[in-house]
A and B are shown apart, each in its own frame.
Chain A
Amino acid sequence: MKRVVLALVLALCGFLNVTGLDGRALAEDMVAEQAKAPAAPVAPLRVPGATDDRDLPWASDGEANVPYVFHDPAHEGRMTGFEYDLMQAISARMGRHGRFVQNGWDGLIPGLSRDLYALVIDGIEMTPEHKAAVLFSRPYYVTVDRIVLRKNETGLDTLEALKGHVVGTIKSTAAERLLLDHDPTNVRSYDEETNLFSDLKNGRLDAILIDEPIALYYLADDLKLVGPPIGRVAYGIAFPKNNPGLRDAVDSVLGDLMNDGTLHQILARWNLWTPQMADYTGDQTLLDIKPTAWADYRQTMERMSGSSVKAMVHRYVSFLPLVLSGALMTLGVSALAMVLAVAVGLILALARAYGMAPLRWLAGLYVEVVRGTPLLIQVLFIFYGLPAFGLRLSPFAAGVLSLGLNYAAYEAENYRAGLMSVPRGQMEAAIALNMTHMQALRLVIVPQAFRTVVPVMTNDFIALLKDSSLVSVITLTELSQTYIRLSSTYYDYIGTGLMIGLAYLLVGLPFVRLARMAEKRMGRVVAKGHH
Chain B
Amino acid sequence: MLRATDIAKSFGGNEILRGISLDVERGELISIIGPSGCGKSTFLRCLNFLEHPDAGEVRVEDVTVTSTGQWNRTDEARAHRLRGHVGMVFQSFNLFPHRTVLENVMLAPMQVKRMDEGRAHKIASELLEKVGLVAVKNRYPDRLSGGQQQRAAIARALAMKPSVMLYDEPTSALDPELSEEVLSVMRALDAEGMTQLVVTHDMRFARAASDRVLFMEAGQIVESGDPDVMFANPREPGTRRFLRTLL
Contacts and interface: CB of A to CB of B under 8 A. Distances in A.
Q: Do A and B come from one complex?
A: yes
Contact of A429 (B96, B100, B112, B142): B96
B108 A426 contact: no
Contact of A525 (B86, B92, B98, B107): B98
A526 B108 contact: no
Interface residues of B, number: 29
Interface in A503-527: 525-526
Nearest to B82: A434
Contacts of A439: 111-112
B90 A428 contact: yes
* Residue among A428, A430, A432, A448 facing the most chain B CB atoms (10 A cut-off): A432
A362 interface: no
B90 A433 contact: no
A429 B159 CA distance: 14
B87 A432 contact: yes
B223 to A, nearest CB: 29
B157 A528 contact: no
B143 interface: yes
Contacts of B112: 433-435, 439
Given A428-B94, A526-B142, A433 B160 contact: yes
B139 interface: yes
A429 B94 contact: yes
A431 B98 contact: no
B40 interface: no
B19 interface: no
A434 B160 contact: yes
A436 B94 contact: no
A125 B95 CA distance: 72
B151 interface: no
Contact of A526 (B48, B94, B140): B140
Contacts of B153: 429
Contacts of A530: 143
User: Chain A contact residues: over half helix, strand or loop, or mixed?
Assistant: helix
Given A434-B84, A435-B112, A439-B112, A426 B96 contact: yes
B242 to A, nearest CB: 28
A312 interface: no
Contacts of B157: 432-433
A367 to B, nearest CB: 27
B197 to A, nearest CB: 13
B156 interface: yes
Contacts of B143: 529-530
Contacts of B98: 447-448, 451, 525
A444 interface: yes
Contact of B140 (A429, A433, A529): A529
A528 B108 contact: no
A530 B100 CA distance: 12
Contacts of B122: none
A472 B219 CA distance: 67
Contact of A528 (B88, B140, B156): B140
A448 to B, nearest CB: 5
21 contacts: A423-B92, A425-B90, A425-B94, A428-B50, A429-B88, A429-B95, A430-B96, A432-B90, A432-B157, A433-B108, A434-B80, A434-B112, A435-B108, A447-B98, A448-B97, A451-B98, A526-B140, A526-B142, A528-B138, A529-B139, A529-B140
Interface of B: 48, 50, 80, 83-84, 86-88, 90, 92, 94-98, 100, 107-108, 111-112, 138-140, 142-143, 153, 156-157, 160
Interface of A: 423, 425-426, 428-436, 439, 443-444, 447-448, 451, 525-526, 528-530
